[in-house]
Amino acid sequence: MAKACVRIGGFVRRAGLKDVKAFVEGKNGAVNVHGEEQAALDDAAHEVCVKELIQGGRCAWIASEESEDIVTANVDGRIAVVFDPLDGSSNIECGVGVGTIFGLVDVGAESSPEHVYARPGRDMSTVGYVLYGASMVLVLSFMSEDAHGGVCAFTYDADRDAFVLTKRDIRIPESGNVYSVNQANYKKWDDATRAYIDECASSKSLRYIGSMVADVHRTLLYGGTFHYPACSSNAQGKLRAVYECFPMAAIIERAGGLAISGANDSVLSFVPSTAHSRMPFHCGSARDIERLDEILSSEV
C-alpha cells in the first residue's frame, strides 16, 4: 500500500495539468472536464493499489470504494485489504489535502468474500492512511501478537524514495478546542446531536475541510473531534464503515482517543452487512467523545 500511495501521490501532485488523465491512464490525450479528471484519478488510484497487492502475493481479497464487488487478488493469500484509494477527491481541484485510507484483516487460509466485511472493525490488524497534503504523510499502526498497536507517522522523502519515521507513539490530546463537522446539515440531525454541536459552538473553533483524512489527521495531532452524524436525509450517515470509518477509528483509539457511532456504540463493534455499508461516525479526544456519548445517552 505504501508503494501504491507513492504513485497516487504523484497523480495528486499533477492534478489539474492538462495531461493528467493521459498520465494516469498511460495514454495520449487531454482532459478539461474536472469531473472526468476526478473519476480518472479515483480509478487510477484503485488500479495502482490492486496491482501492488496482487504483485505482493499475500492478499486474498480486496474491498475498495471504487469496486462494487470484492476483488479476488491471490488464491493463496491469507489477508484481506480494504481501502478507499482516494478519499475526498471531489476537493482535488482546489488543492486541499486528500488521502488514501486502508486496513488489513487476517482471513486465514479458507475464506470467502463475506469474511472481508461481515466482522467488527476491531478485527483489523494493520490500519493506516496517507495524507497527500503539504507533505505526504503515512500514519500507520500494526496490531499483532508482536506489535502493540502504537501509531506512528512517516513523511515521504522523495530524495530517498522512502517514508521516513517522523513521529512515534502518537497520542491524541485528552481534549481539544476544535470540532469538525458539516454544519450545513444542522437541521437534519437529531436533537441530541444538535445539543452537542451547540455546546461545541459556544466554546470551541470549527474547522472543516470536507476531506476526512485531512480532518481526522488534524484531530489526531491537535485534539478535538470529527463528526459525520446520521441525518434525516441519510439515516446511516455518509461515511463507509469498512474502508473509511474502521481504519480511522482504529487509529484514533490506538492513539488513546475514542470513536462512536451513537450512544454507547463503539464504531469498532459494528458488523457491516455489505462491503459498502455506511455508519454514523464520531471520533476524537477521549474526554470530548465521552461528553458526546453522555449527551447522546440522555433524553434531550
- Which single residue is written with the C-alpha cell 463537522? 181
Min separation Cβ 226 and ligand AHM, Å: 8
| Contacting residue, 37, 42, 52, 87, with Mg ion by CB under 5 A | 87
Q: Is 87 in the site for ligand AHM (CB under 6 A)?
A: yes
183 close to 229: Cβ distance less than 8 angstroms: no
Contacts of 87 (CB under 8 A, 6+ apart): 65, 98, 99, 100, 101, 211, 212, 213, 244
- Determine which helix (DSSP H) or strand (DSSP E) holds 259, and give its type and residue range: strand 258-262
Q: Is 66 in the site for Mg ion (CB under 5 A)?
A: no
Min separation Cβ 64 and ligand AHM, Å: 11
| Contacting residue, 37, 53, 63, 89, with ligand AHM by CB under 6 A | 89
| Contacting residue, 64, 100, 211, 219, with ligand AHM by CB under 6 A | 211
Cell numbers standing for residue 131? 495524507
Of 124-183, which residues contact ligand AHM (CB under 6 A)?
182
Q: HSE of 248 in the Cβ direction (CA atoms, 13 Å)?
A: 37
Residue 211 binds which entry of Mg ion, ligand AHM, none, with Cβ cut-offs from 5 to 8 Å by kind?
ligand AHM
Residue 293 binds which entry of Mg ion, ligand AHM, none, with Cβ cut-offs from 5 to 8 Å by kind?
none
Burial of 265 (0-12, 13-18, 19+ CB in 10 A): middle
Q: Is 238 in the site for ligand AHM (CB under 6 A)?
A: yes
How many CB atoms sit inside 10 A of residue 290's CB? 13
Q: List residues near ligand AHM by CB under 6 A.
A: 65, 84, 87-90, 182, 210-212, 228, 238
Q: List residues near Mg ion by CB under 5 A.
A: 84, 87
